[in-house]
Amino acid sequence: MRRVLAIDGGQSAIRVRHSDLSDTVELEGVSRLEGDTIRAVAAAVAEGWRKAGAPATDRAVLGLTTAPTDGPSRRQLCEAVAEGVQTTQVWLADDAVTGHAGALSLDWGISIIVGTGVACLAVPPAAKAAIVGGHGYLFGDEGGAFWIGSAGLRAALKATDGRGPSTALIASAEEHFDGLGDVGDRLHSSQRPVDTVARFAPDVLARATTGDAVASAITDAAADELAALLLAARSHFAPEDEPVPLALGGRLLQTEPLRARLEQRIASGSTAVLVRSADGPPLDGALLLGARDVPGRYRDFVYVWEAAA
């Protein structure tokens, strides 16, 4: 049986698990703002592998938020990972791919995984698969933790200045960010601002459940964005494919307000989908994918590297 080292890498955390072991090693994530992400990711993977006991590995499978898209960078990362974990095969993909593989157990359908960002993959039963949305924290990831957290912080700052309505998010933000007086300066000079802001999202959602109007409006807007993402993903399927399986995963869709409001929009709309919770997390998807001989449905999105004979 092939021995697979699975890696789920985001800006909040990097998780590593080996197919022969049950425990998951979790390390600090890697942000695109931290300089050489290739070196940082490869070092984190090697550290996770060592903490797992340095198990013999036939193939490493990486699902990364920060996965490079150009050939030289992909090759450089795979070579560095291979050297660090002593393997001869590395498969590299966007975390939308491993998220889908885990959420739908390698089957066809749509996956929406909401963490720091948002990963959505549409895989029709016969047509070409497509990554939908995403685009990172600067230009997209609408409805994700950074998007919600930044909206919540922005609302708290406006309310503090007298430019926006009063909100309980002020107290939540003061506690989370250790005060608001110089929070802009501190975050702009921080190495990991995306993760810090994203971790404020659960506070925003919590305030929405207690009736805070501003937090509730942010949560509604996030649900609207995710519903629009789903509509775009559904357009990649032929009408005769309906109803399409939809798997929802990620830590933010485990919380009541966002999940419930998204499902309300799905139920009241015309998008023909069968909603279910993800079968497993992206780390499970990486293990399932790595056990296969070929990437299969995901062939267009997986960079396959093998050491020269």
**Shared-domain flag, residues 238 and 257:** yes
Residue 33 belongs to what domain range?
A: 4-99+282-306
Distance CA 134, CA 30 (A): 17
Angle of helix 71-85 relative to helix 37-51, nearest 10 degrees, comes to 20
**Shared-domain flag, residues 162 and 47:** no
Q: Tell me what pLDDT residue 96 has.
A: 92
Q: Let me know how many helices (H) and strands (E) the chain has, helices first.
A: 12, 11
Distances (CA, A) of 244 to 111, 229, 238, 301: 11, 14, 10, 21
**Shared-domain flag, residues 12 and 45:** yes
Q: Tell me what pLDDT residue 33 has.
A: 60
**Number of domains present in the structure of the chain:** 2
**Shared-domain flag, residues 112 and 49:** no
**Shared-domain flag, residues 153 and 247:** yes
Pairing state between β 302-306 and 89-94: antiparallel
Distance CA 204, CA 182 (A): 20
Q: Tell me what pLDDT residue 197 has.
A: 92
Q: Tell me what pLDDT residue 248 has.
A: 96
- Residue spans of the chain under pLDDT 50: none
**Shared-domain flag, residues 229 and 246:** yes
Q: Tell me what pLDDT residue 125 has.
A: 87
pTM equals 0.89
Q: What residues contact 308, with CB distance under 8 A and at least 6 apart? A: none
Distance CA 1, CA 292 (A): 10
Q: Tell me what pLDDT residue 103 has.
A: 96
Report the SS3 class of residue 67: coil
